[in-house]
A and B are shown apart, each in its own frame.
Chain A
Amino acid sequence: MKLVKIFLLSFFLFQISEKNIAQDTTNLVKELEKESFDNKPGYTTGTFMSTRIVNGQSVENLPAHVLDVRISHRFGPIRKGIYNFFGLDYSAFNVRIGFDYGITNNFMVGVGHSGWQKTYDGFFKLKLLRQSNGAVKVPVTVSFVPTFAINTVKPGDQSFDHTSIPPDAEVKMSDRLSYVLQLLIGRKFSEGLSLQLMPTFIHGDAVSFDHFKNGEYKRDIFAVGIGARQKITKKMSVTAEYYYQLPDAEATIAGNVFAAGIDIGTGGHVFQLHFTNALGLTEKAFITETLKHGLISGTRFGFNISRVFQLGKKHKDTDWKKN
């Protein structure tokens, strides 16, 4: 009797473990997934389609070893109507050719030249925080972007495409230099919608613009920008951007800059087509030097073309190597 009991018990145990074997693979996979997958930070990607929303910077960085050649055009104001073919007759009012490069996945640099005010500019963008929803939870991506620019227009040059400097003016180097410090705080709220806030400090140069406000000369200006992206299809998004200058610093003749457009991605290229009232293509120019009135002010058509090239080996995510 006892023998039978033990035999039955053993048999029963055996049955259970047979079942467990089949169950084993599933349980073991779950166990291994927990070990290997669940400790991944789960970074959010694709908050914006490009490193620029329209005029200004987005929280997107170029991946390591990627070169981005960017060509931006701004045409004349469309308000003159069909006679000027809605601004396109002015040909390009301002063109910027720029080269950006990703040194690491979180650090990129860029240089460029714009025709308007013969300006050279350079910036770097450092990602301080990455939105993530995995083992680490961070609600926003935060980047720091300082931009430096230099106006190289010669005194006495009266060409139409820049603010002229009197021929006898003595212009120091420090009068030509400007810089902009920006903090970008971006969040991808859903697959389609991303928003970004940009607290900005601008130190303007002395030759590009009349930064007068109530008889006072103000070259230090604070502004807050807001940007948005809404995907329509996988390869197309609607974008919008607005910078608000704090009223006590905003120059009398300057307005706030807005922009709205679409992004079209094709794999290697991004085409950004838009309308904006800005003529400038560097931060200090479009945020603080957008004219309210005058011949060249008003809403205009513009586009940016971005083409990325992979140079050298792709930077591998080191997180993966640790496991």
Chain B
Amino acid sequence: MILLFILTVININTRAQVYFTKNGNISFFSRASLENISADNNQVISVLNTTTGSLQFSLLNSAFHFPKAKMEEDFNEDYMESNKYPKSTFKGVITDIGDISSLKDGSYPVNVKGDLMIHGVTKNITAPGTITIRDGKISAESTFKVLLKDYNISIPSIVINKIAENIEVTVNCIYEKK
């Protein structure tokens, strides 16, 4: 009887497959007629549960670094309003987690669905991605587009040729086991 109890508890523990990172990378790229702008954030928090497919991201907007200091200042001041909205987050699920929970080596195309919060506005989005498992290490990649208008980020007409309306976001995370 006690054995059964212990077995159940062990079973619970082995089922909790939670992976995380504190230095995931999210970058974005804006292509406009007068200027191309890219920025990098290497302080992204992400947690992935390979059993349930639950996937979350959280980052500080002020941790995006730009090639020009002026861009970084404008990004935080004028567009993200980082004082008011310090974080951007994503909370969702990998809808086709099936193959991954086995944790066999391989590369798995996946779809992610969930709530993306930027600039205080939450939108339900879906994005394709790839999960790669090698020697028990999990890495995740995804590229998707964000329309600034959707998140109430307006571009002053004076810089309309310098900032794209559609921003390409790239996610790159390598997870470690909790």
- Residues 1 to 53 of chain B near chain A (Cβ within 8 Å): 1-2, 4-5, 8-9, 11-12, 15-16, 18, 20, 22, 42-43, 45, 47-49, 51-52
Bound together, the chains give a CA A264 to CA B81 distance in angstroms of: 18
- Flag if A21 contacts B9 (CB, 8 Å): no
**B60 & A40 in contact (Cβ 8 Å cutoff):** yes
Chain B contributes a number of interface residues (CB within 8 A of A) equal to: 51
Does A266 lie within 8 Å of B69, measured CB to CB?
no
A9-B5, A36-B45, A191-B81 known; A25-B18 Cβ under 8 A:
yes
- A257-304 residues with Cβ-Cβ distance < 8 A to B are 264-268
- Interface residues as binary, B67-82 with A (CB distance below 8 Å gives 1, 0 otherwise): 1111011101110010
Interface of A is mostly: mixed
Task: Give the complex CA separation of A9 and B2 in angstroms.
Answer: 12
Q: State whether A25 and B65 are in contact (beta carbons under 8 Å apart), knowing that A267-B74, A308-B70 are contacts in the complex.
A: no
Q: In the complex the two chains form, what is the Cα distance from A129 to B72 in whole Å? A: 21
Interface residues on chain A, number (Cβ under 8 Å): 51
A318 to chain B, nearest CB (A): 12
Is B20 a contact partner of A267 (Cβ separation < 8 A)?
no
Q: Which of chain B's residues has its CB closest to A16's CB?
A: B12
Question: Within the complex, what minimum Cβ distance (angstroms) separates B175 from chain A?
Answer: 12
Task: Decide if B18 touches A2 in the complex (CB within 8 Å).
Answer: no
State in angstroms the CA–CA spacing of A320 and B63 once bound together. 8
A–B complex contacts, Cβ < 8 Å, 27 sampled: A6-B2, A10-B8, A21-B49, A22-B52, A24-B49, A26-B91, A28-B178, A29-B58, A32-B45, A32-B47, A36-B45, A37-B45, A42-B86, A63-B69, A65-B69, A66-B69, A235-B156, A264-B158, A267-B70, A267-B74, A267-B158, A267-B162, A268-B70, A308-B70, A310-B68, A315-B69, A317-B65
Give chain B's interface residues, CB within 8 Å of chain A. 1-2, 4-5, 8-9, 11-12, 15-16, 18, 20, 22, 42-43, 45, 47-49, 51-52, 54-56, 58, 60, 62-63, 65-70, 72-74, 76-78, 81, 83-84, 86-87, 91, 156, 158-159, 162, 178
